[in-house]
């Protein structure tokens, strides 16, 4: 009988159907790093969304054969250790293909059209006091004919591109940073920064992409440009971004992810109170449609592994 342990069930607000094989299922709302080994002691299958599973936590878990990541990103799992110890790891690709691009454009449109400032003015009673039929005190910019720079051209980057083109935007797809050769259809990384009205990030977090956008990169962007990050917080130097926003050197930023989640209250971006900064609490992935799809595909991954035909494996030899 398989023993399945979900380490952070609270991160998925959806019902999961039972796997179609004999099993025991144990849910934990949340799990600290120092609780992992005890809770997985007899488990054959572990489910994690954001609980880190590194070598110290996985050591001596003799029964564990499969880790099902309840997300697309797998940076919480030590894939090398799992590969060396015959632990299969699967993720869930493609379930946010609509949810994240929609969230990105929500941020873009809110920033370009100054939504927060106008809502604040409305709440302060500005419209009834206006001498004209409207309030036109703050800049309003559209997106048609503007330039959208996409850094990271996987499924989500392509989804953002599709929406951008539907809006009539010019789209630039960035080549990798420091690349010598520019692939067909790509544009040099620095050129994308310099020419885009909006730069949006869709890279995985790796050693190569950590702090991909820092003070040097932000300085290459136009002063009216927006930076959107709905990928991973570690891609951006948050202090550098806060400095540029505070000094008026950047048009604005829409952020759905931070380097530490949940973030400390003194995160440099959280200390800002600016109308051109919108921070959402890592919810771009979490539309009801996307979460329901995640739930079904998570169980399907587990069933495929138990049947002997694992899919969506991310640590194959």
Tell me if 284 sits within 8 A of 100, measured CB to CB: yes
Examine the residue annotation and report whether 261 is marked as an active-site residue of this protein: yes
Examine the residue annotation and report whether 165 is marked as an active-site residue of this protein: no
What residues form DSSP beta bridges with 66? 45, 88
Q: What torsion do the CA atoms of 242, 244, 248, 253 make, to the nearest 10 degrees? A: -60
Return the residue matching tokens 């920033």. Answer: 111
Examine the residue annotation and report whether 232 is marked as an active-site residue of this protein: yes
Q: Which of 119, 141, 261, 288 is catalytic?
A: 261
DSSP character string of 277-313: EEE--S-TT--HHHHHHHHHHHHHHHHHHHTT---SB
Q: Which of 103, 176, 202, 232 is catalytic?
A: 232
Return the residue matching tokens 């880190």. Answer: 52
Phi-psi region of 112 (alpha: psi -120 to 50; beta: other; left: phi over 0): alpha
Nearest to 204 by CA among 87, 65, 23, 69: 69
Tell me the CA distances in angstroms from 170 to 160, 192, 228, one per residue in order: 12, 11, 17
What distance in Å separates the CA atoms of residue 284 and residue 259, rounded to the nearest whole number?
16
**Residues belonging to the active site:** 232, 261, 282
């Amino acid at each position: 009988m398989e023993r399945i342990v979900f380490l952070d069930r609270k991160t998925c607000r959806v019902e999961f159907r039972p796997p179609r094989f004999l099993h025991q299922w144990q849910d934990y709302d949340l799990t600290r790093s120092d609780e992992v080994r005890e809770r997985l002691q007899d488990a054959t299958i572990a489910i994690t969304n954001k609980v880190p599973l590194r070598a110290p936590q996985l050591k001596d878990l003799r029964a564990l054969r499969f880790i099902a990541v309840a997300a697309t990103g797998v940076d919480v799992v030590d894939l090398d250790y799992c590969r060396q110890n015959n632990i299969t790891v699967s993720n869930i690709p493609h379930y946010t293909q609509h949810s994240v691009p929609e969230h990105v454009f929500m941020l873009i449109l809110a920033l370009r059209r100054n939504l927060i400032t106008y809502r604040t003015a409305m709440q302060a009673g500005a419209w009834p006091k206006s001498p004209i039929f409207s309030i036109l005190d703050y800049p309003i910019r559209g997106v048609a004919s503007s330039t959208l720079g996409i850094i990271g051209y996987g499924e989500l980057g392509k989804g953002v591109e599709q929406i951008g083109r539907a809006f009539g935007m010019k789209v630039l797809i960035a080549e990798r940073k420091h690349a010598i050769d520019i692939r067909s259809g790509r544009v040099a990384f620095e050129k994308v920064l310099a020419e885009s009205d909006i730069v949006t990030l869709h890279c995985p977090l790796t050693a190569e992409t950590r702090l991909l956008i820092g003070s040097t990169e932000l300085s290459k962007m136009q002063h009216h440009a927006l930076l959107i990050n709905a990928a991973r917080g570690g891609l951006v130097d948050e202090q550098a971004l806060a400095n540029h926003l505070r000094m008026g050197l950047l048009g604005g930023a829409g952020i759905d992810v931070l380097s530490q989640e949940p973030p400390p209250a003194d995160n440099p971006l959280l200390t800002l109170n600016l109308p051109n900064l919108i921070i959402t609490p890592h919810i771009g992935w979490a539309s009801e449609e996307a979460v329901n799809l995640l739930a079904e595909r998570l169980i399907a991954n587990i069933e495929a592994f138990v049947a002997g035909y694992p899919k969506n494996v991310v640590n194959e030899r």
